Structure formats: structure tokens, C-alpha cells
A and B are shown apart, each in its own frame.
Chain A
Amino acid sequence: MQQHMSEKRNQGRRGRGNGAGDQPSPQWADGLRNIYDSVVNEPLPDDMLALLASLDADGEK
């Protein structure tokens, strides 16, 4: 599972670098990624988990 997650993550991020490569990126550019990554690393809130759990309850929702 853990491996699966990180695999997904890398797939999703394969474009990194292409996008930022055209110009020198200032130090604060890392801050944008930090903001993003800090949320990615948060545990999911309970209501989000509950919603996910409810998705296959009736197969349709």
C-alpha cells in the first residue's frame, strides 16, 4: 500500500522540472511545493474517509 502510494505520487510528478526549467526558480518557488506537500502529507479528515467509505455502499451513489 505504502509502495503503491509513492508510486502513484511519482507518476503524478513526472512533469516536475519540465515546467520550471525555463527560468531560474527563486528560492521561494520551493515554498509553493512545500505548501502543496504539507497538505498532501496531512492525514485525511474523518468525514473524507466516511465519504470514501460510503461510495461503494450502493455501488452507484
Chain B
Amino acid sequence: MSAPLPAAQEGVGASPVRTAQEKRAFKQQLTDVVPHLRAFARGLCGRPDMADDLVQETLLKAWAAQDRFEPGTSIRAWTFVILRNVFLTDMRRNRFRGEYDETVAERIMIAPAGQEGPIHLSDLHRALLTLPPERREALLLVGAGGFSYEEAAEICGCAVGTIKSRVGRARAALASMIEDGTVPDRASSDPAAHRAIMDELEMVAAGNGLSAHLR
């Protein structure tokens, strides 16, 4: 029985080296999860080109760390941990912020029950991008990716209650933006929203935002 070892002791007989067959199996799983990584990344950062850069970096890191993946566990959850860490690191370095690209969702609309007009998905996505990153990712994981609160908490390296609270706040913020019609314009570079995101990010970056697994 080998318990998972902390990263510092890596290589001291941690995981057995993968056989060629295991590597092939891992690569297949990695390939299958790529569409989900792209969807998560697009939700986080809004711009397809940047999202795909995040995914590519994630794939390389995941491949390099494959010995640490436990077969039989969720590859989607495991790679999402890597992706969010890449995202948070990039954001911190580049002062990168979510910018929405209209091309994807522009023509897709959803009709809210018993309300005025239909909502464009592009509006919804833009509204999503104004949320602080940790609330945005929590809502993406649970509300879009279909993870349970428990799985989302695992991915984000925080308590289940924290995830529930983030999802609740994110939903409330989106609901009020949609109901009040205060979804930011497509060209908006609202400095207040930007500042809020960056402040929150500082907190995440300095503290507990990054999951311990693959820090």
C-alpha cells in the first residue's frame, strides 16, 4: 500500500513508472477530456485563443505529471485542478482579464420564463466574466460543468460550504444583472468590475485559492 506522497518527496519511490500501455491509456483519457477543458477554460477567460492556450499548457503539465494521476479517479476533475492553477498563475502574472469574444454565443438566445425579452447567451457570458474568478469558477463547475458541490470543492481545494456560498453569490449576482438589465456592454471595460476582480484575485493568489494537489 503506497500512500500518496507530498510533492517534496516525489521520486522517492512514489508512483511506479508507467508502462507504455498505461501511457497510451492515459493519453486516450486526456484526449477525451480536452473538449471539457476547452469549455471550462472558455468560461473562465472568455477569449477562445487564450482559453486554448490555457488548455495546451494544461495538457503539457498533465502529461508531465501523469504518474501522479490515480487510475480510476476522475480525469476531468484532475485536469481541471491543473487548468485552474494555470489560469490563476497566468492571471497573476499578466494581469490578464476575461474579455469576451462575441463569435461563439452571439446568435444563441435563451428565453427566461415569464420575462420581457430573451437573453443572449453572449450577455450571460459577459455577465459571468464580471464575477470574481473564484465565484465564476465555482458557478462554472457546478452550474455548467455539472460537478457536485463536493467535487467542485475538491477541485478548488476548499470547503464544500465555501463552494456553496460562492455558487450562491454568483447566481445572485447574475440574476440581478439579468433582471435589472445591467449586464455590461460588449465593449465595456468597466474599471470598477476590473478592480473588484483583481482585488479578489490578490486574495486568492496570496492565500488559499490554489489547490494543494499540484501547486
22 pairs of residues in contact across A and B, judged by CB atoms under 8 Å: A13-B145, A15-B151, A19-B142, A19-B143, A19-B148, A23-B168, A26-B175, A27-B110, A27-B113, A28-B178, A31-B119, A32-B124, A32-B128, A34-B105, A34-B108, A35-B39, A36-B140, A39-B42, A39-B104, A55-B27, A56-B24, A59-B20
Q: Is the interface of B mostly helix, strand, loop or mixed?
A: helix
Q: Which residues of B contact A (CB under 8 A)?
A: 20, 23-24, 27, 29-36, 38-40, 42-43, 52, 55-56, 59-60, 63-64, 74, 76, 104-105, 108, 110-113, 115, 119, 121, 124-125, 128, 139-140, 142-152, 164, 167-168, 171, 174-175, 178
Inside 8 A of A20's CB, which chain B residues have their CB?
142-143
The answer for the CA separation of A55 and B29 in the assembled complex, in Å, is 13
The answer for the CA separation of A41 and B105 in the assembled complex, in Å, is 13
Number of residues from A at the complex interface, CB < 8 A: 42
| Nearest A-chain residue to B63, judged by Cβ | A55
Other 12 A-B pairs with CB < 8 A, given A8-B32, A35-B43: A8-B76, A16-B146, A19-B143, A22-B164, A28-B119, A31-B121, A34-B105, A34-B108, A34-B110, A39-B35, A55-B59, A61-B64
Which of A5-40 touch B at CB < 8 Å? Answer: 5, 8, 11-16, 18-20, 22-23, 25-40
